[in-house]
A and B are shown apart, each in its own frame.
Chain A
């Protein structure tokens, strides 16, 4: 709540600590008017939902504000006036009946994220390095364009691809069934999904991920490599001693951000690819999907709020901690 009241982009002449002095505002008036639309936008869509994080500690009861009350909004009035419930909502997620699924969804979220982080990093760097080694510039561009294309294809269309490949009459079955294998029913086979997600993730993001590494490699002074080559360093040594050190800053930066999202997930992918197949829930549900499904069911909204709270706050804390560690060890690489 405090954030939005203090940051509300009203250039009201508050004379405090010289921060928003009247003269300062006046001399920057045109700049402030330029910032205004974006500031309002962030206020409405990003800052306004922030106080709602408190839903996690409330027993939310929807009620109408009495006439003349200063806050004439159903949601915020109810948020303020619902009774505090301490950690009751969190306790629900850890009840003996729920603890297994909660842990499963946390495990899915974290493990998928870690796997995507590692594989994504390795493959993106590898792709960038290899593309740069190609002698034919036209082909290098063509390959990269092809690898980048899936980035623009929505997960929903990918869900169609999964269907065309893996459904009963899909391509995989039309190949393996005549060979004498048992029919693969993707939407009923849990073991298939980790593979599908990993492959789909590689397919969609590797080309995109390599862009920044490719740009960095291109910016490295060629003379460094020439000197190394004269000293007898092979490609591998050149990579380890020249390319990689140049990539480290950007790798660290991207990993800090990725760590902050470790409790989040690519909702569209996890939600649409399995297509609501309930039998594979244990390997396809992430916290995001779990929160969404609870939100859309008849459970009190305090429960999904508790899960969403964990996501937001843990992510935020993780980013701060990672950044803190990076700042202590290699200050020049820190995000802030």
Chain B
């Protein structure tokens, strides 16, 4: 089950299927193949269009956008929105910094805590394996609910209105533990660990010097799960942060969109009260969306392989 055509095994050269010199008997006919390809190209374009719209409107000249509305190809280009975005005192700058710090901190935390938690669960000689497996697994089945979570974070752990709120609740998950446990089992041979033990290395030393180097791809997967999760996280900021200086990127761009829509609707009802010229421009908003997804899209070709492996491993019953 861990074999996948998308080279999740980490061997990029692995063929999709055994390709013999001539077309093998299971292949579909060339006509069917062309039709299938045409369909795939169509739906691929359809999938990319929404992303395209956001990117292209962010580099459209504002006046052109105001006159013609959103277009798939603008009449005039402009990068003014980006200049404004990274200009002085921009709210996006603060949010960007917050999200960047949280993502890095949360990812480091996730890799360490998940890597540590999963290792004993993968060892046959850990006597509390059953207990700690259930202890993690149970959290996937049952939760205290939103209200209780909200109260505990705010009145017991007191992490509201801090940067911690943006990443701490998202830096550990039972699902990642399952992925990592399975990874250790599949990729770290028991003999290697046993021989390290024979040589007198303790559990900690064995883990750090022998196991971790072998488990790096698995840890990379956990890092990615955590990094993407925190980068895209909106919920924690919505629930736990009231002060603007701790806003995350996703939350900031959401409130911007929300405020503007509200103002525009009221401007229709009460002309004169809302001064539309003071609103951030449409292109500015789209530029905000672009800088939010930008890093993910740029990194995507490099990380998707690890992500796929993680998802594939995680679904194998551990």
Q: Which residues of B contact A145 (CB under 8 A)?
A: 300-301, 304
Chain A, 119-176, CB within 8 A of any chain B CB: 130-137, 139-150, 152-161, 163-165, 167, 169-171, 173-174
Kindly identify which residue among A136, A161, A225 contacts B26, using a CB–CB cutoff of 8 Å.
A225
Chain B, 239-277, CB within 8 A of any chain A CB: 239, 250-251, 253-254, 257-258, 261-262, 265
User: Do residues B147 and A308 form an inter-chain contact, with CB atoms below 8 A?
Assistant: yes
Contacts A42-B135, A48-B156, A316-B141 given: A141-B6 contact, CB under 8 Å? Answer: yes
Kindly identify which residue among A31, A51, A134, A208 contacts B120, using a CB–CB cutoff of 8 Å.
A31
* In the assembled complex, A305 has its CB within 8 A of some CB on chain B: yes
Chain B, 289-318, CB within 8 A of any chain A CB: 289, 292-293, 296-297, 300-301, 304, 308, 311-312, 315, 317
* Number of B residues, CB within 8 Å of A: 113
**Which of the listed residues B151, B203, B253 has the most CB atoms from chain A within 10 Å of its own CB?**
B151
User: Do residues B300 and A149 form an inter-chain contact, with CB atoms below 8 A?
Assistant: yes
Per-residue B-contact encoding for A222-233, CB less than 8 Å = 1, 0 else = 100110010000
User: Do residues B257 and A160 form an inter-chain contact, with CB atoms below 8 A?
Assistant: yes
Chain B, 1-53, CB within 8 A of any chain A CB: 1-6, 8, 15-18, 23, 25-28, 33, 36-37, 39-40, 43-44, 47-48, 50-51, 53
Q: Which residues of B contact A32 (CB under 8 A)?
A: 120, 128
User: Do residues B142 and A159 form an inter-chain contact, with CB atoms below 8 A?
Assistant: no
Q: Which residues of A contact B250 (CB under 8 A)?
A: 154, 156
Contacts A38-B172, A160-B54 given: A146-B68 contact, CB under 8 Å? Answer: no
User: Do residues B68 and A174 form an inter-chain contact, with CB atoms below 8 A?
Assistant: yes
Per-residue B-contact encoding for A37-52, CB less than 8 Å = 1, 0 else = 1110110111111111
The stretch from A70-78, A80-88, A97-105, A108-116 touching chain B is A70-78
CA distance A212 to B308 in the complex (A): 8
CA distance A158 to B53 in the complex (A): 11
CA distance A135 to B254 in the complex (A): 43
User: Do residues B145 and A309 form an inter-chain contact, with CB atoms below 8 A?
Assistant: yes
- Chain B interface secondary structure, helix, strand, loop or mixed? helix
**Which of the listed residues A47, A49, A336 has the most CB atoms from chain B within 10 Å of its own CB?**
A49
User: Do residues A215 and B1 form an inter-chain contact, with CB atoms below 8 A?
Assistant: yes
User: Do residues A301 and B203 form an inter-chain contact, with CB atoms below 8 A?
Assistant: no
CA distance A145 to B48 in the complex (A): 11
| Nearest-Cβ distance from residue B144 to partner chain A, whole angstroms | 3
User: Do residues B47 and A147 form an inter-chain contact, with CB atoms below 8 A?
Assistant: yes
| Nearest-Cβ distance from residue B159 to partner chain A, whole angstroms | 10
Q: Is the interface on chain A under 10, 10 to 19, 20 to 34, or 35 or more residues?
A: 35 or more
Contacts A49-B149, A295-B150 given: A34-B203 contact, CB under 8 Å? Answer: yes
Q: Which residues of B contact A218 (CB under 8 A)?
A: 3-5, 16
* In the assembled complex, B187 has its CB within 8 A of some CB on chain A: no
User: Do residues B37 and A134 form an inter-chain contact, with CB atoms below 8 A?
Assistant: yes
Q: Which residues of A contact B238 (CB under 8 A)?
A: 271, 292
User: Do residues B117 and A164 form an inter-chain contact, with CB atoms below 8 A?
Assistant: no
CA distance A28 to B238 in the complex (A): 41
The stretch from B69-77, B78-86, B188-196, B213-221 touching chain A is B69-77
Q: Which residues of A contact B90 (CB under 8 A)?
A: none
* In the assembled complex, B116 has its CB within 8 A of some CB on chain A: yes
CA distance A51 to B151 in the complex (A): 11
Q: Which residues of A contact B69 (CB under 8 A)?
A: 169-171, 173-174
User: Do residues B127 and A130 form an inter-chain contact, with CB atoms below 8 A?
Assistant: no
User: Do residues A275 and B145 form an inter-chain contact, with CB atoms below 8 A?
Assistant: no
Q: Which residues of B contact A288 (CB under 8 A)?
A: 146
User: Do residues A130 and B36 form an inter-chain contact, with CB atoms below 8 A?
Assistant: yes
User: Do residues B128 and A215 form an inter-chain contact, with CB atoms below 8 A?
Assistant: no
Contacts A35-B120, A164-B70 given: A28-B128 contact, CB under 8 Å? Answer: yes
Residue of A nearest to B43 (CB): A147
User: Do residues A275 and B257 form an inter-chain contact, with CB atoms below 8 A?
Assistant: yes
Contacts A38-B117, A154-B293 given: A30-B203 contact, CB under 8 Å? Answer: yes
* In the assembled complex, B232 has its CB within 8 A of some CB on chain A: yes
CA distance A143 to B304 in the complex (A): 13
Q: Which residues of A contact B3 (CB under 8 A)?
A: 215, 218-219
User: Do residues B28 and A133 form an inter-chain contact, with CB atoms below 8 A?
Assistant: yes
Q: Which residues of A contact B57 (CB under 8 A)?
A: 164
User: Do residues A143 and B311 form an inter-chain contact, with CB atoms below 8 A?
Assistant: no
* In the assembled complex, A268 has its CB within 8 A of some CB on chain B: yes
Kindly identify which residue among B4, B54, B144, B308 contacts A53, using a CB–CB cutoff of 8 Å.
B144
In addition to A50-B142, A55-B151, A160-B286, 14 A-B residue pairs with Cβ atoms within 8 Å of each other are A30-B202, A38-B116, A49-B152, A52-B149, A134-B36, A147-B43, A154-B250, A159-B257, A160-B257, A161-B54, A174-B71, A277-B261, A288-B146, A308-B148
Query: Which A residues form the contact surface with B (CB < 8 A)?
Result: 7, 19, 24, 27-28, 30-35, 37-39, 41-42, 44-53, 55, 73-76, 130-137, 139-150, 152-161, 163-165, 167, 169-171, 173-174, 187, 203, 207-208, 211-212, 214-216, 218-219, 222, 225-226, 229, 235, 250, 253-254, 257, 260, 267-268, 271-272, 275-277, 288, 291-292, 295, 301, 304-305, 308-309, 311-312, 315-316, 319, 336
A–B Cβ pairs within 8 angstroms, 16 of them: A31-B128, A35-B120, A35-B121, A38-B136, A51-B148, A76-B156, A147-B43, A147-B47, A152-B293, A153-B293, A211-B308, A222-B18, A226-B25, A253-B317, A260-B141, A295-B146
